[in-house]
Amino acid sequence: MKALEGLKVVEAAAYAAGPVVGKHLVDQGATVVHIESRTRPDGFRTHYPPYKDNIHGLNRSGLFALCNSEKLGVTLNLKKGPGALALAKRIVSWADVMVENFSPGTIGRLGLGYEALKEVNPRLIMLSSSNLGQSGPHAHHPGFGSQLSSLAGFTNLTGYRDGSPQILYGPYIDYIAVGYGVVAVLAALEYREATGRGQHIDLAQYETGLQYLAPLLLDYTVNGNTATRDGNRHPEAAPHGAFPCAGDDNWCVLSVASDEQWRALCHTMDRPEWGGRDEYATAERRRKRADELETRIGEWTRQFEARELVEKLQAAGVPAGMINGMEQIYDDPQLVHRGQWTRMDHAEIGTMSYQRAPFTLSESDSGPDRPDPLLGEHNEYFYRELLGLSDEEFETFTSEGVID
């Protein structure tokens, strides 16, 4: 049995920040309904590659697939007047949790703000995930997660000291918010179990990101220090970085946190005499000579295949790892061992590697057990079977274009 079986979730959400919250809930057994409209499908279906075989198509998006596995896909055009509002409220009265990530204010203008919905379902837990939060002078600013990672200071910490900040792939900060969003929903569920009360959660992606940088924020508030980027270097450990391995653009990393590990590295490099050298004797001295040291280590590492070298260093007690490229992580032996990927057939994509949770539970199963839905795939099933619309109601909503 899965841990969240019986939990009913509706998503009036698109892209990553909202739907991936639902993805984690559905993986653990919740029933999650992803609402879209044919007039405005989830942007991941329409605007973001990759598409299978580079052919655009509403049901060919790898990113939509990754973020929406096992969900029920239904259509509902929220802009279709009172009929749409009435149907949306019926869905909300069915649900335990609603996830939305419209820009702040939008859901209220559609008549689906928390104050209105709690009249319909006082036990509802509503998670609103946004860029900068639901309140404050800049609440309404539309932004992309990729750029929000700069506002929150992450790109300032990426790159070289004397160079430009560098990009973190994709909307890095969105997925930080996703983890906290799931925590928030489960905490609100716990509260509801004890009190019977639902609530509204205002999750600002910006504020969740800052949690990850808390020590540096304290360094400023306490010491007035402003942290900056410094490549792969470490304030204490040395050597610490990425080194070339045999082949084209293959790399490993290693990090030396103690003098014992330094001597172990020297032995592994067949340079035991370096372990005794004064100028390398302490981490501080090694940091001062980092350029020279990194060059020398690089001359050694490039003779080996990354995997072979990592095994050698690990056996000697030196932390080391290979830099997995995107073409390697599906075959990474450790991730494969954990069953990190589940390969399932999707009607238009064909075989797709769906991602599983980053944790396993000893007593509970987890998914995903089905691929992501085609646009509107579960309209009949959800509206009739789960929500209990009569044939007549279903047909009326369909002919009015509410279910589009």
Hey, which residues between 27 and 66 contact another protein (CB under 8 A)?
Answer: 28, 47, 49-54, 62-63, 65-66
| Cβ atoms of residues 185 and 125 within 8 Å | yes
Confirm or reject binding of residue 323 to another protein (CB under 8 A). yes
Q: Which is nearer to another protein, 270 or 363 (CB)?
A: 363
Q: How far is the CB of 235 from another protein (least distance, A)?
A: 6
Confirm or reject binding of residue 120 to another protein (CB under 8 A). no
Give the residue among 381, 357, 6 at the shortest CA–CA distance from 178. Answer: 357
Q: Is 354 helix (H, G, I), strand (E, B) or coil?
A: strand
Residue of 16, 117, 238, 245 interacting with another protein (CB under 8 A): 16
Confirm or reject binding of residue 251 to another protein (CB under 8 A). yes
Q: Label the pairing between strands 240-244 and 251-255.
A: antiparallel
Q: Which parts of 175-194 interact with another protein (CB under 8 A)?
A: 175-176, 178-184, 186-191, 193-194
| Cβ atoms of residues 96 and 125 within 8 Å | yes
Dist. CA 340–CA 293, nearest whole Å:
37
Q: Which is nearer to another protein, 198 or 376 (CB)?
A: 198
Q: Is 303 helix (H, G, I), strand (E, B) or coil?
A: coil
Q: Which parts of 134-163 interact with another protein (CB under 8 A)?
A: 134-139, 141-144, 147-148, 150-159
Q: Which residues neighbour 353 within 8 Å (Cβ) at sequence distance 6 or greater?
A: 330, 341, 342, 343
Stretch that binds another protein, among 80-88, 225-233, 379-387, 390-398 (CB under 8 A): 225-233
Stretch that binds another protein, among 16-24, 281-289, 371-379, 384-392 (CB under 8 A): 16-24
Q: Which parts of 266-295 interact with another protein (CB under 8 A)?
A: none
Give the residue among 66, 18, 319, 301 at the shortest CA–CA distance from 178. Answer: 18
Residue of 133, 296, 369, 384 interacting with another protein (CB under 8 A): 133
Q: Which parts of 370-389 interact with another protein (CB under 8 A)?
A: none
Q: Name the residue type at position 395.
A: E
Q: What is the DSSP letter of 381?
A: I
